[in-house]
A = this chain, B = another copy of it.
Amino acid sequence: MPTLKGKAVVAQSGGPTAVINSSAAGVIQTCLDHRDIFTGVYGSLNGILGTLKEELFDLSAEDPAQIDRLKRSPSSALGSCRHKLKDLEADRADYERILEVFKAHDIRYFFYIGGNDSMDTAAKLGKLARETDYEMIAMGVPKTIDNDLACTDHCPGYGSVARYSAISVKESGRDTDALYTHDTCTIHEVMGRNAGWIAASTGLAKRREQDAPHIILLPEVPFVVDKFVEDVQRCLKDYNRCFITCGEGVRTPDGEYLADAGGQFVKDSFGHAQLGGAGQAVRAIVESHVGVKARTNLPGTMQRVAMHFASRTDVEEAYLAGQAAATAAMEGVSGKMITLVRGEDSGQYVCTTGLADLEDVANGEKMLPPEFIDANGTGVTDAFIEYARPLIRGAASLDMGDDGLPMYAQLERTPIAALTAPWR
């Protein structure tokens, strides 16, 4: 089969991460190195929305230094979206619109960097293209801080949020230690709506039994108030302090998010429901049921774009995934997501890439497995540490500015003239 020639579109979707731009750089630089195959390299502004709206921009017109700097720049430089396309039947007009735009520009390669919704979109687009005999290649590049994508050992984005979460808990745990003249409690809420991978990563901060975090609340382990209160009381008895990591997706035994259910636990003492997330609910429980003052840390969006303490391993693997997607596409591979495959060389962790069907990723979700959770349900096992530690290794490099802060990439986003009638 002769190699398919045509333009390539790169798009980013979902929540930003520290390394999603590194994946984009991997795709873009590989495509630009093969202009005989890729007759143009476009960015789709704000994920798939940019294609629907025909808001494309010319990545070959960007300063190559800025493209290279994407490896060292957090957040989604191509713009992101939360736009989810439904089934081919339900949203057929949108999928057809995308193909209309692709055909108009002779776009033959579509690279979607995102989570399982993005893989779903890429899969369905590829399917419609086949059905309608439009020759094109759709490839997925994994991205999520949550680390819950199926078929891959881990996800680009996770190593960096894990590294940042671990340092944040190591440092604020020392803060809690310093004021131990009275019982004190700190609650540190991390992201992870369904899976506890990020919460678990704070366990990397613990070198000694007395170190923070003392309690890790995971979405995988139902939150039982009485048991939690006993755990906190025991910790305070032992150490006069208690540092709690709270995953935002922690649920009650009924499956309700603690963030939503929080009010019921604190009505007795405060007389009204509690606003705020899981961390605020846990704080209210500590103050009302244990009677100890508690502080809350909410890293919020800071945690997912903390390039300044990103993992070099993660940055490199993110790039590798992008590069592998472009390389596989040139070889005619389509309908696949690049996976990260863990290996070992002379006892050292190594990472290579593999391929998974987009459909398998789209329909899967990977929770923290039982063997990574300790017997009490509030900590991680050595097996988890062994899994996670290689992923946070090394400091990512930064281009520092004269003002003492990093220089992050700014793309010009030179628009490509529209060739179709406006969408909708």
Quick one: which of B46, B74, B270, B301 contacts A181, CB cutoff 8 A? B46
Given A49-B181, A276-B276: A186 in contact with B301 (beta carbons within 8 A): yes
Stretch at the interface among A167-175, A226-234, A249-257: A167-175
| With contact pairs A16-B178, A296-B298, A297-B300 given, residues A308 and B75 touching in the complex (Cβ less than 8 Å) | no
Most B-side CB within 10 Å, residue of A12, A311, A393: A393
* B75 and A305 within 8 A (CB): no
Q: Is A29 close to B, CB under 8 A? A: no
Other 18 A-B pairs with CB < 8 A, given A79-B180, A80-B179, A175-B301: A46-B181, A75-B171, A167-B308, A167-B405, A170-B405, A170-B406, A170-B408, A171-B302, A172-B305, A175-B305, A272-B272, A275-B280, A295-B301, A297-B298, A308-B309, A311-B404, A392-B405, A393-B404
Copies of this protein, total: 2
Across the two chains, which residue of chain B brings its CB closest to A410?
B208
Of the candidates B80, B296, B405, the one whose C-beta lies within 8 Å of that of A166 is: B405
Chain A 162-197 interface residues, beta-carbon cutoff 8 Å to B: 163, 166-168, 170-172, 174-181, 186
A130 at the interface (CB under 8 A from B): no
A82 CA / B308 CA spacing, docked (Å)? 32
For A295, the chain B residues whose CB sits under 8 A away are 300-301
- Whether B167 lies near A406 (C-beta < 8 A) is yes
Q: Does the CB pair B181–A75 fall under 8 Å?
A: no
Interfacial chain B residues near A141, Cβ < 8 Å: none
Q: Kindly identify, within residues 71 to 102 of chain A, every residue whose CB is under 8 Å from any CB belonging to chain B.
A: 73-77, 79-83
User: For chain A, what secondary structure do more than half of its interface residues adopt (helix, strand, loop), or is it mixed?
Assistant: mixed
A306 within 8 Å of B by Cβ? yes
Q: CB-CB < 8 A to A177: which residues of B?
A: 75
Q: Is A238 an interface residue (CB 8 A)?
A: no
> How far, in angstroms, from A300 to B167 measured CA to CA in the complex?
14
Residues of B contacting A380 in the complex (Cβ-Cβ under 8 angstroms): none
Given contacts A299-B299, A302-B299, contact A178 B79 (CB under 8 A): yes
**Cβ–Cβ < 8 Å partners of A174 in chain B:** 16, 73-75, 305, 408
Given A76-B178, A403-B389, the answer on whether A172 and B275 have CB atoms closer than 8 Å is no
In contact, B49 and A83 (Cβ under 8 angstroms):
no
Residue among A80, A171, A306, A389 with the highest chain B CB neighbour number at 10 A? A171
Asked whether, in the complex, the Cβ of B306 is within 8 Å of the Cβ of A171, the reply is: yes
Q: A401 — nearest CB in chain B belongs to which residue?
A: B207
The reply on A205 being an interface residue by CB < 8 A is yes
- Do residues A300 and B298 form an inter-chain contact, with CB atoms below 8 A? yes
Q: Using CB atoms, name the residue of chain B closest to A17.
A: B175
Inter-chain CA distance A411–B112, complex, in Å, is: 50
The verdict on A198 contacting chain B, using a C-beta distance below 8 Å, is no
Q: A280 to chain B: which residues have CB within 8 Å? A: 275-276
- CB of A304 closer than 8 Å to a CB of B: yes
Among residues 124 to 148 in chain A, which have CB atoms less than 8 Å away from a CB atom of chain B? Answer: none
> Which residues of B lie under 8 Å from residue A163 when comparing CB positions?
404-405
A369 sits at the interface (CB 8 A): no
Set B175, B204, B306, B309: member contacting A304, Cβ < 8 A = B175
What's the Cα separation between A304 and B406 when bound, in Å?
Answer: 20
- Per the bound structure, the CA–CA distance linking A65 and B317 in Å amounts to 36
Q: Is the CB of B299 within 8 A of A178?
A: no
- 6 contacting pairs across A/B (C-beta < 8 A): A74-B171, A83-B181, A171-B307, A175-B305, A204-B403, A295-B300
Find the B residue at minimum CB distance from A398.
B395
Does A118 sit at the interface, judged by CB under 8 A? Answer: no
The docked-state distance in angstroms from the alpha carbon of A172 to that of B306 is 8
The residues of B that contact A307 with a CB separation of less than 8 Å are 171
A76: chain B residues within 8 A (beta carbon): 178-179
